[in-house]
């Protein structure tokens, strides 16, 4: 039954998901990843999923703004009529990324998923006109895992991140994102052309680390491309 009780989101534990999400959003805001209310994050903790609200100033989110959903969701949720354990008392809407976050749970068994509007990610989708971004022989590749949840990649590996086309509404990306994840089973994220990127991990730490590493690789890949340097060897 849906409740607006704060019991699920008020905790003195700094590592509680409802405390972590506002902290991480402030950090991502400073990086330019979630400005203009864009972007989002979710954390799955056992049978509960904590999700930031949509259309709000991400650097000003507080624990009481967090939505809590049960995991797994009964069919056909979370893509239509979602079941909530807790909604904020304020008139807020759960992240528009919710069905895409669920792709990371269902297809990768992820514990957290991050969506950014990083300019580096957007530029990568513009300079790689095809369906995939590729880069190899970069030290930061070692911070990315196979499929986002498997063993760590090596310096010698070539990273492939699929690129899907954007849609006017975020939730309409769900099926194309799922298709890309199936076509590229080793990918740790999915780029959305002229939009941003989704990155997941086994937990919030690994999702954050991989988002940072991929953002670095997008940035240096763009610089290499513009300088006429091949991004793969």
Active site residue 139: yes
Q: Does position 188 have pLDDT exceeding 90, yes or no? A: yes
Confidence at residue 77, expressed as pLDDT on a 0 to 100 scale: 60
- Residue 50 backbone zone (phi > 0: left; psi -120 to 50: alpha; other: beta): beta
Report the percentage of the chain scoring pLDDT > 70. 96
Tell me the per-residue pLDDT of 80-101, one tens digit each, with 9 for 90 and over: 678 899 999 878 998 999 999 9
Q: Is the preceding omega at residue 231 within 30 degrees of 0, hence cis?
A: no
Confidence at residue 79, expressed as pLDDT on a 0 to 100 scale: 61
Closest Cα partner for 70 from 25, 102, 38? 102
Tell me the per-residue pLDDT of 203-219, one tens digit each, with 9 for 90 and over: 999 999 999 999 999 99
Given the residues 23, 139, 165, 205, the one annotated as active site = 139
Tell me the per-residue pLDDT of 92-145, one tens digit each, with 9 for 90 and over: 998 999 999 999 999 999 999 999 999 999 999 999 999 999 999 999 999 999
Mean pLDDT of the chain: 94
Neighbouring C-beta atoms of residue 182, cutoff 10 Å: 11
Beta bridge partners of 115: 40, 198
């Amino acid at each position: 039954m849906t409740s607006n009780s704060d019991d699920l989101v008020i905790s003195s534990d700094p590592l509680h998901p409802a405390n972590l999400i506002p902290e991480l959003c402030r950090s991502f805001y400073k990086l330019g990843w979630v400005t203009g209310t864009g972007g989002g994050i979710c954390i799955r903790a056992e049978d509960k999923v904590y999700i930031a609200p949509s259309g709000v100033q991400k650097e000003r989110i507080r624990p009481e703004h967090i939505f809590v959903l049960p995991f797994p969701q009964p069919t056909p949720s979370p893509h239509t009529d979602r079941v909530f354990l807790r909604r904020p008392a304020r008139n807020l809407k759960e992240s528009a990324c919710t069905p895409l976050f669920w792709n990371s749970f269902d297809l990768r068994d992820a514990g957290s998923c991050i969506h950014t509007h990083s300019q580096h990610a957007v530029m990568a989708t513009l300079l790689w006109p095809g369906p995939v971004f590729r880069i190899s022989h970069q030290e930061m590749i070692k911070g990315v895992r196979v499929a986002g949840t498997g063993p760590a990649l090596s310096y010698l590996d070539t990273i492939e991140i699929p690129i899907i086309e954007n849609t006017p509404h975020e939730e309409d990306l769900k099926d194309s994102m799922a298709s890309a994840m199936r076509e590229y089973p080793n990918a740790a994220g999915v780029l959305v052309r002229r939009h941003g990127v989704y990155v997941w991990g086994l937990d919030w730490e690994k999702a954050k680390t991989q988002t940072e590493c991929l953002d670095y690789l997008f940035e240096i890949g763009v610089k290499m491309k513009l300088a006429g340097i091949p991004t793969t060897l």
